[in-house]
């Protein structure tokens, strides 16, 4: 009797399920960033809106990266259903607080997948996920830096304008 499962995929079912859940989470993160960017745009923060629109694109790329990995490994990637995102922010700062919260949740999820990989000896997926571990370190740092700038620059008068421009520089700083 052949090992039919192994012939088709090296992904254990629980890993495949966890990866598909992550595909969905990254897609949701993309939607959240888009909603945040929209609020910023509507409130005149053009530069930081652009920054978050780029973040939305990045999250979408993360989702796709995992999606294609699942298929590459012989699993079945599931196109996620992502619901409507309605985010209403009370201030510029609250946008970036939400961004940090979201990134922290993603980091936890990524770490849980790595833990699962070790449990079932799936070192290929662990190695694939390490890219995301490093990515999250950066994402969290950027989100914290944005909040730091909010503390440094007062959100009144021309401060708003400076803040908008400074935050847009964050992603340029990382390169």
Partner 1 sequence: MHAQSYQTELYKNERGVTWQCDLTNTIVIDFEPFRIRLRLPDFNTFRRKVNGIDIRAMLFDLSDAADYQVLEAPKAQSAYRLTLCELIQLRDLLNGTRFALELSSLLHETLGEIVITD
Q: Which positions make up the binding site for Fe cation?
A: 26, 59, 62, 103, 136
- Torsion angle in degrees (nearest 10) through CA of 113, 119, 120, 124: 50
Residues with Cβ within 8 Å of 107's Cβ and at least 6 positions away in sequence, in order, are 136, 139, 140
Listed residue (135, 136, 134, 40) closest to 89, CA to CA: 40
Tell me, rounded to whole angstroms, the distance of Cα 65 from its chain centroid: 12
Whole-angstrom distance, CA of residue 24 vs CA of residue 21: 5
Cβ proximity to partner 1, 104 vs 120, nearer residue: 120
Cβ proximity to partner 1, 4 vs 172, nearer residue: 4
When binding is defined by CB under 8 A, the residue of 68, 76, 112, 127 that contacts partner 1 is 76
- Of the ranges 3-11, 88-96, 148-156, 160-168, which one interacts with partner 1 (CB under 8 A)? 3-11
Residues with Cβ within 8 Å of 12's Cβ and at least 6 positions away in sequence, in order, are 120, 122
Q: Is 72 in the site for partner 1 (CB under 8 A)?
A: no
- Residue 159 touches which of Fe ion, partner 1, none (CB < 5 to 8 A by kind)? none
Q: Is 138 in the site for partner 1 (CB under 8 A)?
A: no
- Residue 81 touches which of partner 1, Fe ion, none (CB < 5 to 8 A by kind)? none
Please give the residue ranges that form the binding site for Fe ion (CB under 5 A): 26, 59, 62
Please give the residue ranges that form the binding site for partner 1 (CB under 8 A): 1-9, 13, 74, 76
């Amino acid at each position: 009797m052949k090992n039919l499962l192994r012939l088709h995929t090296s992904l254990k079912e629980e890993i495949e399920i966890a990866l598909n859940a992550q595909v969905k989470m990254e897609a949701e993160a993309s939607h959240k960033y888009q909603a945040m960017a929209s609020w910023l745009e509507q409130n005149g923060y053009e530069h930081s809106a652009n920054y978050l629109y780029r973040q939305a694109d990045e999250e979408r790329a993360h989702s796709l990266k995992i999606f294609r990995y699942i298929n590459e490994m012989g699993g079945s990637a599931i196109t996620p259903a992502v619901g409507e995102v309605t985010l209403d922010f009370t201030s510029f700062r609250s946008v970036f607080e939400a961004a940090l919260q979201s990134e922290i949740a993603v980091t936890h999820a990524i770490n849980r997948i790595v833990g699962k990989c070790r449990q079932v000896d799936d070192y290929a997926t662990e190695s694939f996920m390490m890219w995301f571990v490093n990515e999250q370190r950066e994402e969290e740092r950027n989100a914290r830096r944005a909040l730091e700038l909010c503390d440094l620059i007062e959100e009144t008068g021309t401060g708003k304008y400076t803040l908008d421009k400074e935050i847009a520089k964050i992603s340029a700083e990382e390169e």
